[in-house]
Chain A
Amino acid sequence: MKKQFAVILMIFMGFISLSGYFINNPTLRNFVDKDANQWYMIIAGFAAFLGVINLLQLHSKKIIYKKKNWQYSMLTLIGFLLMIFFGFIYNNTDSAIGAHLKNEESIFYWMFNYIYLPLASTMFALLAFFVASASYRAFKIRNFEATLLLISGVLLMLGRVPIGALIPWWAVVIMYVSLVFAIFASKIKDKKIFFISYLIINIFIIALIPFAINSLGIDLYTFLSIPLIQEWIFSVPATAGARAIMIGIALGTIAQSFRIITGRERSILGD
């Protein structure tokens, strides 16, 4: 009965929330936009106490039973109690309790500014190093897709820094030709033929491009400027891929919501 009630409530609220966007009724719209959200915030606010109780229970148990790594729990509890003490009880400033949290002279403010913020910033800064190690792994040439990723990655990186704009057009041509030859390298057995053809094609294309631009009036600079290539990769293939994923996510969200609203997906209620 308890579960059935929960399912009925879930279905009812789901339909009400959805209809709020399509039925022209200010009361319904107000409920969906404001009241329902406020209800959620109130429930979530009360749940915060449960979180705090859980944290205290878990770490107290660890300390009492001297479980593995109980010393860390001690630090957690000390930090927790100190912040409560300086936030709710002790006020060393002229400001009233509550307002003193923003007073630069208060101990709470000092702890927040000089302990909490540097720690959070340190964690955030770690991201730079993790990006480097993740990129290194992703750019390792294992297959065709990884090679494409490496090429786009290098072009994007070069295009975003000032040196990218200084790379001359003929160097970009050599890069293109090298890439094509890299793809077919395994197919050509004779290395002598490989290098001679590589050299000839490079010279031929470099000689041909000024002719194509001046005589035929073909605009090739878009393909030969690293910042422009970078811009194109970013706005065309990358955006296309991201949009494909976004459409998939949107459809997945609709399907999942449909399963929940119609009461078919009940595992969240423990069914």
Chain B
Amino acid sequence: MKDFLLNRNMFTFGITPLIIIVIYFLNPFTFFVSGNELSFIFIIISCFTFEYFITKAKNGDEIFLRPIAGMEAMEEAVGRSTEMGKSVLFVPGISGLDQIDTISGLVILGYVSEMTAAYEADLHVPVAVPIVMETAKETCKEAYLRKGRPDLYNDDMVHYVTDDQFAYAAGVNGIMLRERPAAIFYQGKFYAESLILAETGNTIGAIQIAGTGSSSQIPFFVTACSYTLIGEEFYAASAYLSKKPTMIGSIKGQDYVKVFCMILIAFVVIVSFVNHFNLTDIDVSTIFRINIIE
């Protein structure tokens, strides 16, 4: 028992979150917001699970990551563009940096621009939000520098089009039809313009790889693009592409949190089933109550 408690990992990842959760429930001096317990527990469990697997990966544990076709195809798409002597188009969506999708898209842009630097392919990044333009420029510049090809980078490869949704769609469509890129990446937050862009890309015969967290746009991308990173795959892309153990560890942690969610869903189903036959009278909604303050 003593050894068990003294185990560093056990203390860090087992007891610490428990202590934090207990402190939150005790709520000394009303230091914490009451009513947010469920969100807090879930965030604490998720974070400590991620951290546990990151530590495991750092310590040299091998972590298997299933191959994701869309990510495997990224290099192939850039290679194809190089062979055909055509450019690569990267569309980071129409949202600002306050959206996690845009940030994820820019992270992927970093890897794509590394590939274009290595293959000496032309990269074209039309953006809809000026602040995203500045970040994308910096991301591309650093990627070209990392690959030892700063000479291939030019400021015009990332450029501002407009912040209006359909004007942006028209501008990007125009670029597609005039330049006829061989590979198109849609990585970011998309709205109604997703299908307009993806269908135009389809008509010019480009390899299209999409990734978005906008659940309503995923069906459109699935229909029109060669590959689509659906939901969590999109957020995992940066970890997958970086091949760093610390990043891959968090994906493994994410899978375990998913298992936890499945157990909770099964619990709710069983309780509802039992309630239906009047065997118990448990109100599940009180257990899973969320009271995010306005």
Contacts and interface: CB of A to CB of B under 8 A. Distances in A.
Interface of A: 18, 21-24, 29, 37, 40, 43-44, 47-52, 54-55, 58, 61, 68-69, 72, 119-120, 123-124, 126-127, 130-131, 133-135, 137-138, 242, 245-249, 251-260, 262, 264-265, 267-271
A51 B100 contact: no
Contacts of B34: 24
A44 B98 CA distance: 10
Given A18-B43, A21-B33, 11 more contacts: A40-B97, A47-B130, A47-B131, A50-B133, A51-B130, A120-B164, A134-B199, A251-B261, A254-B254, A267-B107, A267-B139
Given A245-B230, A258-B47, A24 B32 contact: yes
A153 B46 CA distance: 37
Given A24-B31, A245-B218, A258-B47, A51 B223 contact: no
Contacts, number: 189
Given A22-B24, A267-B139, A254 B169 contact: no
B178 A69 contact: yes
Contact of A252 (B130, B198, B235, B247): B235
B235 A255 contact: yes
A21 B261 contact: no
B73 interface: no
A255 B235 CA distance: 8
A252 B254 contact: yes
Contacts of A58: 156, 159-160
Nearest to B197: A130
Nearest to A80: B162
Contacts of A256: 100, 103-104, 235, 238
Nearest to A133: B199
Interface string B121-156: 000000001110111001101110000000000001
Given A69-B178, A134-B195, A267-B107, A249 B238 contact: no
Contacts of B24: 22
Contacts of B51: 262
Contacts of A123: 166-167, 169-170, 196
A265 B238 contact: yes
B183 interface: no
A252 B234 contact: yes
Contacts of A126: 196
B131 A246 contact: no
A44 B195 contact: no
Contact of B223 (A24, A49, A138, A247): A138
Contacts of A259: 238-239, 247, 250
Contacts of B195: 127, 130-131, 134
A44 B97 CA distance: 9
In the A-B complex, the 5 residue pairs with the smallest Cβ-Cβ separation, listed nearest first, are: A252-B235, A51-B130, A270-B142, A252-B232, A123-B166
Nearest to B234: A252
B269 to A, nearest CB: 12
A267 B215 contact: no
Given A47-B130, A123-B166, A123-B196, A251 B258 contact: yes
Nearest to A44: B131
A54 B167 CA distance: 17
Contacts of B138: 269-270
A251 B192 contact: no
A69 B215 CA distance: 37
B85 interface: no
Nearest to A244: B231
Contact of A127 (B100, B104, B196, B238): B196
A55 to B, nearest CB: 5
Contacts of B196: 123, 126-127, 130
Nearest to B261: A247
Contacts of A253: 100, 213, 235
B206 interface: no
27 contacts: A22-B36, A24-B31, A40-B97, A44-B130, A44-B131, A47-B130, A47-B134, A48-B130, A50-B133, A54-B133, A55-B159, A55-B160, A58-B160, A120-B167, A123-B170, A127-B195, A134-B198, A134-B199, A251-B232, A254-B47, A255-B251, A265-B238, A265-B247, A267-B238, A267-B242, A268-B103, A270-B142
